[in-house]
Copies of this chain bind each other. A is one copy, B any other.
């Protein structure tokens, strides 16, 4: 940590900071300048809690050099983590995966039909929401446990491992019985009780980026899961909220290569939620893989115009076939 003093800080102000740093068990290194003094803090092994310092008289700013996460950081864990979802491997060096399925499980026919179709078209995992977070209370909120059972049935027939969202700590046990990969939605990225609970299970977790979360906050949220002992975490970019309203969110694709520098965890991309527009899903899926994503999640629905949620961003069966038809060529390009 570097502590920057005000231009007008007195000797006494500086001494007070030096003493506080020393009381915290660190070494203080004053760096006098022509305009102001700065004070380096040495000897810390991780993130320094600055609450006892940044508030002292004469202090202008405390600049952190260490980060609020460590377990997820590539600095301290240089080898790539490969996540194993019921036999499907996800991460650097693995074949990029395609996760497909409807936004919400609506009924048996819809999910079975979709599962069969995406399986034969080449999907690696099946997605579908049983618990649905919705902005207003007057819309469809999901089939809940009934939906989980339908997903299990689809898995039994097609063999596709299942990805589905868990919304509260209470339901982690229940969802973990049925899901192969438990998804934390963007709205829950900082639901810390939920994250801790997921840290205690032995199933992989797909953590979606909050819609206003910085990359640092995203990694710090993942740290909650790893800190409890579960290292099988996949990060998922799904668009951030910006002033632009022409797309539902702004897909931050540059975060993919950047996050891969910062962490050893795999990174996936969800272009359906990010853009909210069907016609953008195929180009952005391909762009995500070329940017280095380890997989994509795309919404597919047999009749998007009848979908109970997110129809306009779901691919039709024909659309999904189009995407998958190109996947072999794209993977071969990516494999170099």
Contacts and interface: CB of A to CB of B under 8 A. Distances in A.
Contacts of A158: none
A56 B311 CA distance: 10
Q: How often does this chain occur in the complex, in copies? A: 4
A133 to B, nearest CB: 6
A34 B43 contact: yes
A336 B291 CA distance: 19
A174 interface: no
A275 B52 CA distance: 19
B40 A31 contact: yes
Nearest to A134: B192
A76 B192 CA distance: 37
Contacts of A274: 254
Interface residues of A, number: 109
A283 B277 contact: no
Given A8-B75, A170-B170, A240-B242, 13 more contacts: A2-B38, A7-B75, A31-B31, A32-B42, A46-B138, A51-B305, A56-B305, A215-B244, A240-B244, A250-B254, A257-B283, A258-B275, A333-B333
17 contacts: A7-B76, A31-B42, A33-B43, A51-B309, A68-B139, A135-B217, A135-B220, A136-B224, A137-B196, A167-B192, A240-B244, A246-B258, A247-B258, A251-B252, A257-B279, A257-B284, A258-B279
